[in-house]
Amino acid sequence: MNTHIERALNDQINKEASSSHYYLSMASWAETKGLAGTALFMYTHSDEERFHMLKLVKFVNERGGKAIVPAIPQPPLEFDSVHKMFEALLAHELTVTQSINDVVDVCLKEKDYTTHNFMQWYVAEQMEEEALARSILDKLNLIGKETGGMYLFDREMLEITNASASKTAK
Ligand code: OFO
């Protein structure tokens, strides 16, 4: 495997692992606040990020490179509010989108169209993740400071997570 491509993919493995860890921390925080739906959503999201990492690990190894399992720094453990937490999530996803675009860039420079093709799955995934984060923030903006709104929000997060789990099970 081309060394530039291998380095770019290993950097991305690191980012996906960090995302998984970050969202795990968000899940745990939400759980301690009694927000079971939000916690489930974040636990599931953390698992998805691990899957994104695994997909890259396997691709690198199958293509003759060597995947590097990264050391992961501790993510933040506290969040000021659910709103702030989802703002942090969106900001994080935007940095991940940028790094996916950087990998795609390297693929084009190195004329590696196989990896370029493989990365298109991540490009589409980032669009979905950004859209989902924005729609959740829209809901939180509507709720504002309304008490009781958070209860309904949390219930909706539970429904969103269960609905997407049953869709993937089919
Ligand atoms: Fe891996 O998609 Fe989010 O970070």
Q: Quick: pLDDT tens for 110-143.
A: 999 999 999 999 999 999 999 999 999 999 999 8
Q: Is 127 exposed, middle or buried (0-12, 13-18, 19+ CB in 10 A)?
A: exposed
CA of 143 to the centre of ligand 1 (A): 26
**In angstroms, what is the span from residue 19 Cα to ligand 1's centroid?**
6
State the angle between helix axes of 82-109 and 3-32 in degrees (0 to 180), rounded to the nearest 10: 170
* Run of H or E including 103: helix 82-109
Cα 41 → chain centroid:
12
Chain-centroid distance, C-alpha 34? 23
**Domain definitions of the chain by residue range:** 3-169
Q: What is the pLDDT of residues 62-107, one digit of tens each?
A: 999 999 999 999 999 999 999 999 999 999 999 999 999 999 999 9
How much of the chain, in percent, has pLDDT values that exceed 90? Answer: 91
Distance CA 26, CA 2 (A): 36
Ligand 1 atom nearest 52 alpha carbon? 1
Q: What is the pTM of this model?
A: 0.93
Quote the ligand 1 centre to 23 CA distance (angstroms).
10
Ligand 1 contacts (CB < 6 A) are: 16, 19, 49, 52, 93, 96, 125, 129
3 state DSSP class of 155: helix
- Measured CA to CA, the distance from residue 39 to residue 28 in angstroms comes to 7
Nearest CA to ligand 1 atom 3: 93
Phi-psi map region of 81: left, alpha, beta (phi>0 left; psi -120 to 50 alpha): beta
**Residue 132 alpha carbon to ligand 1 centre in Å:** 12
For the stretch 10-35, pLDDT in tens is: 999 999 999 999 999 999 999 999 99
82 Cβ neighbours under 8 A, 6+ residues apart: 30, 33, 35, 38, 140, 150, 153
Spell 109-123 as b/e; 16+ CB within 10 A means b: eeebeebbebbeebe
Q: Which atom of ligand 1 is nearest to the CA of 48?
A: 1
Amino acid at 82: V
Residue 45 pLDDT greater than 90, yes or no: yes
- CA-CA distance, 42 to 30, in Å (whole number)? 8
Which of 11, 13, 16 to probe ligand 1 with, by most ligand atoms within 8 A of CB? 16
Task: Domain 3-169: give its CATH superfamily.
Answer: Ferritin, core subunit, four-helix bundle (1.20.1260.10)
Distance (angstroms) between ligand 1 centre and the Cα of 16 equals 6
